[in-house]
Amino acid sequence: MAVAEGPAVHALAGYGASSRIRAALPQMPGAMAKIGTLLLEDPSLPLRLSITELAARAGASPATVTRFCRAIDYTGYPALRVGAAAEQGRLSADETWDADIGRAFHPGDTATEVMHTLVNAHTVALTSTADRLDPALVGRVADAVAQSSHVDIYGIGGSAGMAVELQARLYRIGINAHAWSEVHVGLTSAARLGDSSVAIAFSNTGRTEATIEMLALAKSSGAYAVAVTSDPSSPLAQLADAHLISYAPGEYLQPDDLSAKHAQLFVIDLLYLLAAQRDFSRTTSLLAASAAAVAPHRRPLRTPARPRTSPSSKGTATT
């Protein structure tokens, strides 16, 4: 199975070797994934082993190691060794900080450096999601949503907000959508679905038991099951009829990584817009009706007051 060389073009350039491996690992075939797993378990291996020795330990060929390096945006094994050496130098000084916070931020960073790190992390999340999504698959999911009689959307914890966000958007364009963040009511709804229904489940890891349970029941009831996760090999993704990838960098302040949520929001926005296209005239009419309904509850924009002039000022503003 071919793997794109780099999850996003130069998107990982600001990250260390281990961070790049974690980002690309879910997309790697078996031999390359074995190399990645070995390096995550012992990041010092490139400093101690030749390319041939590392290949032998992973049960792969040196050519596979080279392809692995390119898949994580290094030019080859020498570049990987440099990256590993730089990372190892940081680890000893920052061990406690890294264990608690993550390697994307450092305790001595200035506010400007933190801001730039955040921008990079969010940019990587969005571009990597866009690179990994299959537009044709998203289009098929949008078709199913637009034609469905009922859409269930599941999410637990932080993913509950994503479920509510998609439900609100779909409902505004006339799609019968419901969001469930509590497993009992979610299961009750899932049991009532049929073959004209769609069920969509959000989970960054794809391993949240309650979410898996709701989507599994929805699928067994006949619904078209869709998973939005960062891991194609996760139980949720494997269960679904369609998996939409939502890239999660996994770099800092877990489990509160907002860049992962922005990747989910990107998927939501894309799915919503494609579903809205399916009956554009109906969509625009419904959105106009929604805007008119809430307009009286918004304060009008104020126009700046014109300066007053006195008759004797000959057009000069009074003070």
- Ordered DSSP codes for 69-80: HHHTT-SSHHHH
Q: Looking at the structure, do residues 161 and 266 belong to the same domain, yes or no? A: yes
Q: Is pLDDT of 257 > 90?
A: no
pLDDT tens for each residue of 13-32: 556 788 888 888 888 988 99
Instruction: Output the CA torsion sign for 136, 142, 146, 147.
Output: positive
Alpha helices in the chain (DSSP H): 17-24, 30-41, 45-48, 51-58, 62-71, 77-100, 111-132, 135-147, 158-172, 183-190, 209-220, 235-239, 258-277, 280-294
C-alpha distances (whole Å) from 236 to each of 32, 74, 101, 194, 233 are: 23, 31, 28, 20, 8
pLDDT tens for each residue of 105-153: 666 778 887 787 777 778 878 888 888 889 999 999 999 999 999 999 9
Tokens of 84: 């590993």
pLDDT of res. 142: 96
The number of domains in the chain is 2
Instruction: Output the CA torsion sign for 219, 224, 227, 232.
Output: positive
Average pLDDT over residues 81-85: 82
Would you put residue 151 in left (φ > 0), alpha (ψ -120 to 50) or beta?
A: beta
Share of residues in the chain with pLDDT > 70 (%)? 81
Domain hosting 153: range is 135-279
User: Given pLDDT bands bounded at 50, 70 and 90, which one contains residue 1?
Assistant: very low
pLDDT of res. 104: 56
Pairing status of strand 224-229 against strand 177-180: unpaired
The angle at the Cα of 251, spanning 238 to 225, to the nearest 5 degrees, equals: 20
pLDDT of res. 316: 52
Q: Looking at the structure, do residues 179 and 262 belong to the same domain, yes or no? A: yes
Q: Looking at the structure, do residues 88 and 173 belong to the same domain, yes or no? A: no
Euclidean distance between CA atoms 167 and 159, whole angstroms: 13
Average pLDDT over residues 188-213: 95
- Mean pLDDT across the chain: 83
User: Given pLDDT bands bounded at 50, 70 and 90, which one contains residue 36?
Assistant: very high
Instruction: Classify residue 228: in a domain, yes or no.
Output: yes
In one letter, which amino acid is 15? Y
pLDDT of res. 102: 43
Contacts of residue 243, Cβ cutoff 8 Å, sequence gap at least 6: 226, 227, 228, 229, 232, 237
Q: Looking at the structure, do residues 152 and 73 belong to the same domain, yes or no? A: no
Q: Is pLDDT of 73 > 70?
A: yes
Span of 7-11, 109-113, 198-202, 283-287 with lowest mean pLDDT: 7-11
* Residue with the larger pLDDT of the pair 175 and 294: 175
Instruction: Classify residue 306: in a domain, yes or no.
Output: no
Q: Looking at the structure, do residues 142 and 94 belong to the same domain, yes or no? A: no
Q: Looking at the structure, do residues 234 and 180 belong to the same domain, yes or no? A: yes
CATH number at residue 30: 1.10.10.10
Q: Looking at the structure, do residues 159 and 96 belong to the same domain, yes or no? A: no
* Residue with the larger pLDDT of the pair 173 and 98: 173
Q: Looking at the structure, do residues 244 and 160 belong to the same domain, yes or no? A: yes
Q: Is pLDDT of 3 > 50?
A: no
CATH number at residue 176: 3.40.50.10490
pLDDT of res. 97: 42
User: Given pLDDT bands bounded at 50, 70 and 90, which one contains residue 249?
Assistant: low
Starting from the edge strand earliest in sequence, which strands make up the sheet with 197-202, in order? Answer: 177-180, 150-155, 197-202, 224-229, 242-245
* Residue with the larger pLDDT of the pair 13 and 306: 306
Of the candidates 82, 103, 124, which is a domain's last residue? Answer: 103
Span of 88-97, 199-208, 225-234 with lowest mean pLDDT: 88-97
Asked if 155 and 210 touch (Cβ cutoff 8 Å), the reply is: no
Q: Is pLDDT of 240 > 70?
A: yes
Instruction: Classify residue 39: in a domain, yes or no.
Output: yes
- DSSP 3-state of 215: helix
pLDDT tens for each residue of 175-184: 999 999 999 9
pLDDT tens for each residue of 184-193: 999 999 999 9
Average pLDDT over residues 231-241: 92
The angle at the Cα of 211, spanning 208 to 213, to the nearest 5 degrees, equals: 105
Pairing status of strand 242-245 against strand 197-202: unpaired
Q: Looking at the structure, do residues 92 and 209 belong to the same domain, yes or no? A: no
Asked if 267 and 246 touch (Cβ cutoff 8 Å), the reply is: yes
Tell me the pTM. Answer: 0.63
Euclidean distance between CA atoms 219 and 193, whole angstroms: 9
Pairing status of strand 224-229 against strand 197-202: parallel
